[in-house]
């Protein structure tokens, strides 16, 4: 059996019907199914995540998503040394959208698509909410010793964009602190360099798509291969800020419309006018882009 087939078998018994939901109903008939699910997951745990400490109780969603840790790291916290993106702590709406994208063919990855292909919207939302709620420390930056000219170019594009090419700053949408904005925009720090390169490349070639209007597709189309290399190098060389939680809102409207952000009130900052939710005023001692344009 292939790894994805094995992993999706681990997910299947607990998918339909939701056994943990019936726990409070005291339905004794669900016990064998639950036990079977638990032992198959215990097996996957044993085989795939041997270093995991005390497993949580058998019927929780935490145990049902143990299969994910095989690739995404313990509790979904990837190290940043390989290709697999960390998934914990990302905005729930973003994670849910990605799981739907893999399932419905807007993102192409055979492993991921195979795992989620039979899962319902609601089930994927629960998985997304589970990972979004986990708060774990990040590993140190992956990229060290990249050429300073490359890093400077990357930083410039991320923080200021390139008005001459109508390229908005990445920070204008991903948040001044670059840790993302709830509910739908992912952070850009703590991701492997190869993963960043691949995602931007896939948007350029149409292999990754988001809801229309797909702002990332338009932005990636304006980036050269050198630009992509520079932003990926710089982003993967950054240390995370002290507060890694996604901002709850951007202090200004999106520079261009993004379908995946949709009808969310993304352009509205906190009602009290404070900057509390929108990340720090400064990153590495420099004014953060979002702060300049705040009313």
DSSP string, 176-203: TTSS-BTTTB---SS--HHHHHHHHHHH
CA nearest to 66, candidates 40, 45, 35: 45
Shortest Cβ 31–ligand HEC spacing (Å): 24
Of 45 and 200, the one with the shorter C-beta distance to ligand HEC is 200
81: how many CB neighbours lie within 10 A of its CB? 11
Of 195 and 275, the one with the shorter C-beta distance to ligand HEC is 195
Of 80 and 260, the one with the shorter C-beta distance to ligand HEC is 260
Q: Is the distance from CB of 289 to CB of 162 less than 8 angstroms?
A: no
First to last CA, the chain: 58
CA nearest to 115, candidates 99, 126, 131: 99
Shortest Cβ 212–ligand HEC spacing (Å): 11
Shortest Cβ 19–ligand HEC spacing (Å): 17
d(CA 91, CA 60): 21
Q: Is the distance from CB of 70 to CB of 89 less than 8 angstroms?
A: no
Q: What is the DSSP letter of 208?
A: B
Q: Is the distance from CB of 159 to CB of 286 less than 8 angstroms?
A: yes
Tell me which residues touch ligand HEC (CB under 6 A).
3-4, 7, 65, 67-68, 70-72, 83-85, 87, 94-95, 97-99, 107, 109, 111-112, 115, 127, 157, 168, 170, 172-174, 184-186, 188, 191, 196, 198-200, 210, 215-216, 219, 231, 254-256, 258, 260-261
Shortest Cβ 28–ligand HEC spacing (Å): 28
Residue 9's SS3 state is helix
Q: Using the structure block, give the residue that is written with the tokens 């204008």.
A: 172
Of 115 and 249, the one with the shorter C-beta distance to ligand HEC is 115
Shortest Cβ 85–ligand HEC spacing (Å): 4
Of 34 and 223, the one with the shorter C-beta distance to ligand HEC is 223
The H or E element spanning position 286 is: strand 286-287
Q: What is the DSSP letter of 139?
A: P
Shortest Cβ 39–ligand HEC spacing (Å): 18
Structure token digits, residue 224: 């050269």
Helices (H), 137-244: 148-160, 171-174, 193-205, 215-221, 225-235
Of 216 and 233, the one with the shorter C-beta distance to ligand HEC is 216
Cβ within 8 Å of residue 108, ≥6 positions away: 202, 207, 208
Of 241 and 255, the one with the shorter C-beta distance to ligand HEC is 255
Shortest Cβ 25–ligand HEC spacing (Å): 25
Of 143 and 199, the one with the shorter C-beta distance to ligand HEC is 199
Shortest Cβ 200–ligand HEC spacing (Å): 6
């Amino acid at each position: 059996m292939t790894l994805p087939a094995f992993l999706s078998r681990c997910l299947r018994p607990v998918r339909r019907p939701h056994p943990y939901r019936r726990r409070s109903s005291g339905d004794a008939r669900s016990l064998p199914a639950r036990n079977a699910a638990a032992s198959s997951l215990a097996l996957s745990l044993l085989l795939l995540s041997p270093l995991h400490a005390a497993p949580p109780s058998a019927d929780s969603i935490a145990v049902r998503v143990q299969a994910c840790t095989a690739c995404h790291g313990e509790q979904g916290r990837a190290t940043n040394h390989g290709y697999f993106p960390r998934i914990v702590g990302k905005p729930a709406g973003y994670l849910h959208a990605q799981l739907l994208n893999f399932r419905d063919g807007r993102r192409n990855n055979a492993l991921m698509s195979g795992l989620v292909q039979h899962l319902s919207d609601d089930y994927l939302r629960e998985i997304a909410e589970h990972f979004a709620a986990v708060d774990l420390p990040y590993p140190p930056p992956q990229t060290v010793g990249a050429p300073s000219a490359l890093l400077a170019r990357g930083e410039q594009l991320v923080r200021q964009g390139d008005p001459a090419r109508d390229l908005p700053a990445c920070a204008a949408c991903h948040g001044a602190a670059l840790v993302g904005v709830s509910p739908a925009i992912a952070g850009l720090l703590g991701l492997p360099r190869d993963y960043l390169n691949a995602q931007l490349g896939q948007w350029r070639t149409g292999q990754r798509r988001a809801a229309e209007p797909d702002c990332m597709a338009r932005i990636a189309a304006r980036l050269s291969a050198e630009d992509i290399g520079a932003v990926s190098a710089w982003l993967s060389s950054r240390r995370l800020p002290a507060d890694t939680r996604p901002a709850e809102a951007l202090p200004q409207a999106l520079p261009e419309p993004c379908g995946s952000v949709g009808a969310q009130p993304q352009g509205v900052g906190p009602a009290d006018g404070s900057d509390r939710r929108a990340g720090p005023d400064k990153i590495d001692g420099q004014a953060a882009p979002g702060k300049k344009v705040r009313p």
